[in-house]
Structure formats: structure tokens, C-alpha cells
Amino acid sequence: MTALILLAIVVGLLVLRQSVVLILLIAAAYIHFFYGDGEVVYLIEDMWAALDSEVLLAIPMFMLAGATMSTGSSAQRLIDVVRAFTEWLPGGMAIAAVLSCAIFSSISGSSAVTLLAVGTVLYPALKDAGYDKKFALGSLSSAGTLGIIIPPSIPLIIYGIITETSIADLFLAGIIPGLLLTAILSFYGFFRNRHIPPKPFSWPRAAHALREGIWALMLPVILLGGIYSGYFAPTEAAAVGLAYALFVELFIHRELGFLAFFGIFKYTAQLLGSIFPILAVAISLKSLLAVQGVPQDFAAFLSDTFTSKITYLIAVNIALLIVGCFVDAIPAILILGPLFYAGAAQFGIHPVHFGIIMVVNLELGFLTPPIGLNLIVAMTAFKEKFSTVVRSVLPFLGLMVFFLILVTFIPWLSMALIR
């Protein structure tokens, strides 16, 4: 009966369009009260313990670094470099759009930031160059999702925290899948637009773009090189990346003023205000569920329901595809991560591999209605109808489902770089 009452409360709050934070907080308090000996104070203690973590410092610093580079001229300089070296190819502008998103993803760690930084520059450029409007919309919206799979990915950090999996290993595991998706989207862009005449390659233009963009290009090299060489941890890399981004924009490019930095910090604070409360409540709920043995019971139920690892992975992917249509990636990872993680362990699936599967799956949720984040961002930024944006991403969704199948059933793609 208590479980049915909780379900009714959650459904009622969803119907009333309440925030995920409020729903999670009420659900956690209800569970603490009825299943945790009535000690709701444990909820507050667990929330405090959840946020008392050094790893969490990486999230605001990566966000600030990405926002700083996108607000300044670094995004434009990166795009100029990529365009200079790809526009001589058939469909070169389409390839440049995907590669620009991939490179900027390694700076921002965010899908929305990547889409805005690259899309606001390349969307009008693609249309002016003769590319179909729907293709331009779909390509940029889809390539923007690279921001949550190519490290430093904030959803991967969240998954690492909630499941106690090495974030450095998750970052390593995201490299090959990220490059593979980049290659798939780039090849589709080439194939679809091979009839558009390319521009002649210009060494002076390429040299000028490289000279102007070298400082921006060095940031992902410093970040990822430092992490993978073992010179500094992900949190230290975030601090180095933020310091480098501020140095470049303040002393090299010198294009940002005080008001711009105020806007950057305000924007980052707003994002953190939506992420950290969810994280605190979700970890508190996870602690109580662990004490009650819920993940173990859930894993036992899954092992009795599904007869093999393959059927379990198929079921999880279908469930996550449905969840991704209605819930953002970070809340979905926080709520479902511990439960599905327990099931994956029951079937012998490596936690790093499962983390990549989960993030790639929820990556598709950025492109699926009714609340796909990239659909909403693209609609707002490019001033197009929501229905137009949805239709534009359909071919790319097919490609990404194919990519998800590869990542799910070829573990090597995620595990090849793990020591």
C-alpha cells in the first residue's frame, strides 16, 4: 500500500509539472520515513555527505571553462581552423560542423553549450553555402550530443560518482566511441552533400586560421593529455582547464570584459542550481536503498527475469530509450544508475562499459520529443518550429541507434584503452 501511495504521489507531481528536484525530494523523504525507521534526518545527513566530495568540483570548473571559451572568440577560432582544413572536400562544411562539435565537446563537456557555440556560427554558414536547411538543423543538433560522450563528459562524471566507478577510466572509455560517432556523422554528411562543389584549399588561409586558433586547440590537448598521462586527476584537470581558458581569453584574445564574466558565472550557477540538488537527493536515496538491499533484490529479479546478458542489455536499452524521451540524462543516471548498475554486475558486464552504454543511450534522449534538450535549444537558437527540428533529426537518430547497437554489443570499443 505504501508503495502504491508513493507511485500516486509521483504521478500526481508529474501531472502538475513539478520539478525533478521536488519530486525526488518528496520521494526520498517518503521512503526515509516509511522504510528508514522514520528518521528523516538521515536524508539531510546523506545529502550533505553527497556534496562533500572533491570530485564534484570538476563539474563547475569544466562548465566555467566551456562557457568562457564559447563566450569568447575561441569557438569561432576553432571553427575557422576546422573549416580551413575540410572545405576542400565534397560536403566539407558538413564535415566541419561535426568535427567542430567534436573538438568543442572536449572543452565544454556539455551538449547544449556545444550546440550553441558551434551552431550559432555554422547554421547560417551552412545555409549560405547551399546546404539543405533540414540537414543543417539535424546535423548540428545531432553532433551537439557529442558533448556528453567525448570527455570531459559531465554525465560520465555523474555516473562515476553515483556508481563509484573510476572517472579517469570512463573518460578513456569515451574516446573511441566518441571518435566513432564523429566518423559516422561525418561520413553521412559527406555522402548526403557530395554534390555540393567544394572550395579550393588555401595554404595561406589554413596557416592563418591555425595561427589564430592554436591557443584554443591546445586546451583539449592539455586536458586530455594531462588526464591520460596520469599527470593530474580529472578534478585537477578541470582546474587547469579553467585557469587556461581564463588566461587565453583575458591575456591572449582580450575580448571579454567584466560584464561578460558576470554572465558566464551566472549561467554556470544556474546550471549547477539544477544539477547539485538532484545529485544530493539522489545519492541520499541511493544510500537508503543500499541499506535496505534494494539494488541486490532488483539484480536478483533481473537475473530471474532475463536468461542472458544479451537479453538484459536489450531490455535496458529499450527502457532507457523510453526514459530518455521524458527525463534528462543526468536525472536518469542518478535515479536509474544504481539499479541498472547492480543488474549489470549480476550479468558480469564491466561497470565502465555499462556506463558508456547508459550515457550513449541517454544521448539519444537529447534528440527525442517531447523534451529533447537539443531539440529545444535548436528551436530557440535557430528560430525554427519544433516540428521542423524533430523531422530534421530523424535520419541522424537512425544512425545513432546503429551506433548504440555497436557500443552495446562490441565491448572492445569502450574497453580498448582501459589498462
Position 183 pLDDT exceeds 80 = yes
- Burial (CB < 10 A; 0-12, 13-18, 19+), residue 87, is buried
Instruction: Quote the pLDDT of residue 109.
Output: 65
Whether 240 maps to a domain, the answer reads: yes
DSSP 267-281: HHHHHHHHHHHHHHH
Q: What mean pLDDT, rounded, does the chain reach?
A: 81
Q: Per-residue confidence at 399, pLDDT binned at 50, 70, 90? A: very high
Which residue, chain included where needed, has cell 570548473? 61
Q: Which helix (H) or strand (E) holds 94?
A: helix 92-108
Whether 368 maps to a domain, the answer reads: yes
* CA distance linking residue 128 with residue 131, whole number of Å: 7
Instruction: Quote the pLDDT of residue 146.
Output: 85
Return the percentage of the chain with pLDDT > 90, whole number. 15
Whether 318 maps to a domain, the answer reads: yes
Instruction: Quote the pLDDT of residue 205.
Output: 86
Whether 17 maps to a domain, the answer reads: no
Return the percentage of the chain with pLDDT > 70, whole number. 82
CA dist 387 → 143, 201, 368, 377 (Å)? 19, 37, 11, 13
Residue 388's contacts (CB-CB under 8 Å, 6 or more residues apart) are 134, 137
The number of folded domains in the chain is 1
* CA distance linking residue 386 with residue 392, whole number of Å: 10
Contacts 24+ apart (CB under 8 A), 378-385: 378/115, 378/119, 378/137, 378/140, 378/141, 378/144, 381/115, 381/116, 381/119, 381/120, 381/123, 382/119, 382/123, 382/137, 384/137
Question: How does pLDDT run across 117-165, given as a tens digit for each residue?
Answer: 788 888 888 888 888 889 989 999 898 888 788 887 888 988 998 888 9
Q: Residues 10-36: what's their mean pLDDT?
A: 66
Q: Per-residue confidence at 7, pLDDT binned at 50, 70, 90? A: low
Q: How many other CB atoms sit within 10 Å of the CB of residue 303?
A: 13
Position 322 pLDDT exceeds 90 = no
Whether 162 maps to a domain, the answer reads: yes
Cell numbers placing 245: 581558458
Question: How does pLDDT run across 220-253, given as a tens digit for each residue?
Answer: 788 777 777 777 777 888 888 888 888 888 888 7
Residue 21's contacts (CB-CB under 8 Å, 6 or more residues apart) are 274, 277, 278, 281
Instruction: Quote the pLDDT of residue 332.
Output: 83
111: closest CA among 102, 124, 99, 120?
102
DSSP 33-77: HHHTTT-THHHHHHHHHHH--GGGGHHHHHHHHHHHHHHTTHHHH
Whether 22 maps to a domain, the answer reads: no
Whether 9 maps to a domain, the answer reads: no
Full residue range of the structural domain in which residue 310 is found: 44-415
Whether 27 maps to a domain, the answer reads: no
Position 217 pLDDT exceeds 80 = yes
Position 38 pLDDT exceeds 60 = no
Cell numbers placing 3: 508503495
Torsion of CA 237, 240, 245, 246, to 10 degrees: 140
Residues, the chain: 419
- Burial (CB < 10 A; 0-12, 13-18, 19+), residue 258, is exposed
* CA distance linking residue 229 with residue 279, whole number of Å: 29
